[in-house]
Structure 1
Amino acid sequence: MDLQEISDRLEIADVITRYTRAIDAGDWDRLDTVFTADAHIDYTESGGIAAGFAEVKPWLAEMLPAFFPARMHTIGQVDVVFDGDDDARVVAYFDNPMPVDDGKGGTRIVEIGGMYHHEMVRTEHGWRSRRLHEQVVWKRGI
């Protein structure tokens, strides 16, 4: 592994971290540093939408806080496969427990585990995701 590949892997890992921090903190504008403007995002396996970034970003801002007021991702292994110098396929394992209203004055935890499949591209602003597919492997409490 040369220095460029090490640098690319670190930057790609940072994109994954920025994504999960943006979602967890509700910092929706931070997603602009994660995705290309023409990115396609697919959340259908977890009950969400599949659409372009311009449609998904406001949908996230409206829907996630309404259903899941607190979110906390844990990212596990991240597999990066480069397709030339400027493209990469990235798979990041995730666990996402979220407290929700239990309807009785308390909370219960719902949890989703799976893999984020990104197609990343090197841009003038660094690595960005041009496609995200959220693959749900398991759910608990739903």
Structure 2
Amino acid sequence: MTLTLQEMSDRFEIQDLIVGYCYAVDTRDWDALDRYFTEDAVIDYSEMVGIVGGLAEIKTFLAESLAPIPAFQHAVSTTQYQIEGDRAKTKTACYNPMTVSDGETTDTLVFGLWYHHEFVRTGQGWKISRLYEQKCYRLNVPDWLAAQLPA
């Protein structure tokens, strides 16, 4: 498959959005998320943590739910692209280790998931219009935390 310069540019811009989202979350820079999402974006974490919402709601949720977690990191790879004009979809593997504590013990757990993004080309370039996190696996999740997560 031969890509045009526009197709290559679109892929790089979209990849930068995916990575930018991860870095914003990992550095707890919630306001940076505004650069990556449309104002009416839908963010669906229902399979992973049980919430679906708009950007403002999700920023509040992330700030509150990740506050007690000392460390986490999102590593993304193997993105598949479907670009049709001013709309695009991707599927990306995400490996997300986290250090958690119940106050007595500290554990490092790992979430493996798929990011399903939808994008729209705007006057300011590509933006994420929808993010859906699909659960793939969970490793070493302590019982106290597993009880708080969707099955």
Name the TM-score class by shorter chain. Answer: over 0.9
Residue aligning to 2:112: 113
Q: How does 1:1-142 map to 2 (within 5 A)?
A: 1-66=3-68, 68-83=69-84, 85-101=85-101, 103-104=103-104, 106-142=105-141
Offset of residue 103 of structure 1: 3.9
Which residue identity is paired with 1:15?
A: L
TM-score, with normalisation over the residues of structure 1? 0.93
The number of residue pairs the alignment matches comes to 139
Offset of residue 36 of structure 1: 0.4
Which residue identity is paired with 1:62?
A: E
Contact 1:40–1:132 (CA<8 Å) still a contact in 2? Answer: yes
CA-to-aligned-CA distance 1:35-88 (integer Å, 9 cap, x gap): 10000011011123101112111111111123x2311111111111012x1100
Unaligned stretches of 5+ residues in structure 2: 142-151
Q: For 1:6 and 1:102, locate their aligned partners in 2 and report how far apart those are by CA, in whole Å.
A: 46
Q: For 1:54 and 1:38, locate their aligned partners in 2 and report how far apart those are by CA, in whole Å.
A: 10
Unaligned stretches of 5+ residues in structure 1: none
Q: For 2:103 and 2:140, locate their aligned partners in 1 and report how far apart those are by CA, in whole Å.
A: 14
TM-score, with normalisation over the residues of structure 2? 0.87
Secondary structure of the structure 2 residue equivalent to 1:21? helix
Q: For 1:57 and 1:72, locate their aligned partners in 2 and report how far apart those are by CA, in whole Å.
A: 17
Contact 1:23–1:71 (CA<8 Å) still a contact in 2? Answer: no
Which residue identity is paired with 2:10?
A: D
What is the percent sequence identity of the aligned residues? 45
